[in-house]
Amino acid sequence: MKKQLFFLIALNLIFIANLFAQEVYEPGYFIDNEGKKSDVLIQNLDWKNNPKEFSFKANPASGSEKKEISQVAEFGIGSTFKFVRATVQLDQSSNLDSFLSASRNPEFETETLFLKVLVEGKATLFQYEAKNLIRFFYTLDGSDIKPLVYKRYQTPQGIAENKLYINELNTKLNISDFNEADLEKIRYQTKYLRDYFKTFNNANSSEQLVFEPNKNQKPFHLYARAGTIFSSFSVEKVSPNQVLYPFENPLGFHAGVQLEYVLPYRHKSWALLFEVNYQKTTSNGIKNPETQNLDFKAMEFPLGVRYYFLNRTWGRLYANSAFVITRNLDSSIQVDNFNIELTKNHRFLNFGLGFSANRFQIEYRRDVPRNLDYFYPNWKAMINNNYLMVGFRLF
């Protein structure tokens, strides 16, 4: 039953995200096989992996159309991104430790791809990414596009590296101010190669266009959060006679910090979350005429994912879900002078919907109902928490 409930929650979150997900069409262009340029609105998917097709509209009121790689020589949106079609030698070697080959040489296959332009000038740098594969290519003065080769391979002594791209930079794209030690510091990564090509073009007084993300948007955010817990709490004695002891109007307080890492793809719509929270819920009273006392205190450590949708200039709606590990802190439940001992650790799921604007956020969250007592087979202590929280972004 619990697995079914968890699965249902996950499906609901995915449905909500897809329902409100925005199709972002931005002014751009494409060039067909005959060299004709068309100014259109291109759906910007902020691709992580290089696409094989793209969608566009002739104007805001028209329907969406698609173009495949065989139909288009180039497409782009201003200085945001540019893809060009090219037939290149693509090294298919795996970079995963468990799948490294014993050969030092690249495993080339001829492929027709959309290559992402990173730097365009006298020397142009391209990138191709698919799953665990990242490869870089370059062209100089409009020559044929060539691969920059880097390969990790297995030897009897351990893992070795073929850094042929360093030799290519030194011989074909040499910068007088760079010595051999400087070149060895250039890693086979976007940032290092982009900076090198920018420096090369500047050294050769070449006009260039650089395609790179907005550096003003930081990926890490830290929120301070607090709120009220609206709980439904009950203790049930299963045998010998079934008796239900509901706690009336339990009040709770919740506070903590949330670290958010915004993933750099899909318009930064997805984020990973980690939280450290403290919560306390109390309820006291006399009923039937038993004494009922609840003093529940716990530390929570949620790890989850968030999806932002319905983006507007005034704010963003989001949905999130998390796997939570809870550590009870000397909590106590007393029913009719019987003290119920609670287990120390619990694991469950929660989900929430929220709104953020500038540095502020407000969120409704709900935990999956759970039993806090596993020691007494004749008793169940069920808790069902709903939260209303506000947060402030510290950075």
| Last residue within a domain, chosen from 176, 210, 244 | 210
Is the pLDDT confidence value at 13 over 60? Answer: no
Q: Are residues 235 and 206 in the same domain?
A: no
Q: Give the residue with greater pLDDT, 309 vs 287.
A: 309
Assess if residue 159 is contained within a domain.
yes
Question: Does a structural domain hold residue 16?
Answer: no
Residue 333 and residue 294 in contact, taking contact as beta carbons nearer than 8 Å = yes
Q: Count how many domains the chain has.
A: 2
Structure tokens at 294: 């609840």
For residues 205 and 351, state if they share a domain.
no
Measured CA to CA, the distance from residue 138 to residue 28 in angstroms comes to: 24
Helix H or strand E segment including 20: helix 2-20
Which of 261, 275, 247 shows the shortest CA–CA distance to 352?
A: 275
Tell me: pLDDT of 12 over 60.
no
Please indicate, yes or no, if residue 5 is contained in any of the structural domains.
Answer: no
Tokens of 183: 């070149």
- Check whether residue 163 and residue 246 sit in a common domain: no
Whether 1 maps to a domain, the answer reads no
Residue 22: predicted pLDDT: 52
181 and 325 inside one domain: no
> Do 147 and 230 lie in a common domain?
no
Last residue in a domain, options 180, 210, 240: 210
In a domain, 12, yes or no: no
Q: What is the pLDDT of residue 6?
A: 47
Q: Which domain holds residue 168?
A: 21-210
Q: Is the dihedral of CA 171, 176, 182, 187 positive or negative?
A: negative
Do 194 and 230 lie in one domain? The reply is: no
Nearest Cα residue to 38 out of 69, 67, 63 = 67
Q: For the domain that residue 357 is a member of, what is the CATH number?
A: 2.40.160.20
Q: What is the pTM of this model?
A: 0.65
Q: Tell me the pLDDT tens digit for each residue of 127-185.
A: 999 988 999 999 999 899 999 999 999 999 899 999 999 999 999 999 988 888 889 99
pLDDT at 2: 47
234 and 351 assigned to the same domain: yes
Q: Which residue has the higher pLDDT, 293 or 27?
A: 27
